[in-house]
Structure 1
Amino acid sequence: MFYPYGFGFDPTMIFLIPSIIFAMYAQAKVRTTFAKYLRVNGKKGYTGYQVARYILDHNGMRDVPIELTRGQLSDHYDPRKRVVRLSNEVYHSTSLASISVAAHETGHAIQHAHGYIPLSFRNAIFPVASFGSQAAWFFVIFGLIMSAPTLVNIGILLFTAAVLFQVITLPVEFNASSRAMRLLDEGGFIVGDEYNHSKKVLRAAALTYVAAMATAVSQLIRLLLIRGQRRD
């Protein structure tokens, strides 16, 4: 591992410890909550696919396809191809976890169709954020080795774009979950206590995005500290 202060312990790593612990907790929380409610079938017996298809059709989006995708918790909406992708256990299952996740992804599709501003902004900065998250450390490390502060600053600016992406992701995800709960309730897909159970699934999923933002912010603070120490 590269140590900006020379060989040995890097004190700036301390700023990452809380966010790393939080991220581990968030991942564990979403997996255990999803697994728990994957074993609880909805009383109405709808599959994740049926819920997603109904919601899309009743919101004038019959042209938006629903595809199977590999992996667990790999469900997502692709705004470039305008397609909802559901994992096998969400697509075919009638569990509360499955229909909650399916509704959440259709929430993103509805955001896109209605021109939801935070989603449009996130989609616009995605290319820069994606490049920034991958290239930032190259500029920072190379800049430190070469004693070139300009390169370090470029790296920090690139990483700032990645942090901004994580920050704007929060309202996008929270809004999609809020839409999902309303759609599930209004569509009659959940009844009684199922509403609270579905909410727990989506809250656990949202926690991972909070953790991702916290980690990104911590990394940015660390980069600023490294730059400041090198200037001294």
Structure 2
Amino acid sequence: MIKPGLAIFATALMLSACGGKNNTGGKAEMPESAPSQAMASNQAKVAAALSAAGEPFETLTETAFTATPAELDTSILAAEAAAGTLKPMVPAALSASLQTHLAAVRRARKSDQRVDLALASIEGFRRIVSAVPGTPAVPIDVSLLDYAGFRYDADAQAKPPRWDDMAAATTYARERWANISGLAPLAKLRTRFDDGLTAMEAAVKAHDVTRARAAAKAELDMVDELETAFQAPN
């Protein structure tokens, strides 16, 4: 039987030995909050990189019908460079998808198919913004409404217009809008945006290109207003 004094001394030694080292070989333990802080910091960097990378794809789409060949080539290079910056930080599947869309952009550029170029580029934009992690100040659905408007407008400029895909783009926009239309920052814009989507749908039903182009422009302009509403101070 161990005497009480020896037992206390032995226990103290054991506690000292256990407390002085940890399972990492004696290194000080990281505070529990450190991993989550590191993850949050990395997530913010990835989100910022994705947002920045989406811009050249959007610009390429927006200027696809008006840019000179030299300007198009410059915009394509910018989109390719943006995709390259993402490669070390995004899943391989996303990088592969972007390369597929960029290859389609290059083919369309070679054959001077501006509609196909715009659509391939905006699909790349969609893949990028859909991958933004976390909860950005401006919801991802706002960017996807941008995508829907550009897709619809590109289809409207095809010869003949791609009415079926324009209808699909409008349905997609309705789904994205349903996700955010009830949010408080959009209260003053709700009716106008609903009406804008209705105008897009009506133009498709009427097979009216002029109305469709006007409705697409109005929708894209209103998306800018949605972004501003979410960025406004509370």
TM range (shorter): under 0.3
Instruction: Report 1 or 2 for greater relative contact order, CA contacts < 8 Å, sequence distance ≥ 6.
Output: 1
More strand as a share of residues: 1
Structure whose alpha-carbon radius of gyration is higher: 2
Q: TM-score, normalised by structure 2?
A: 0.25
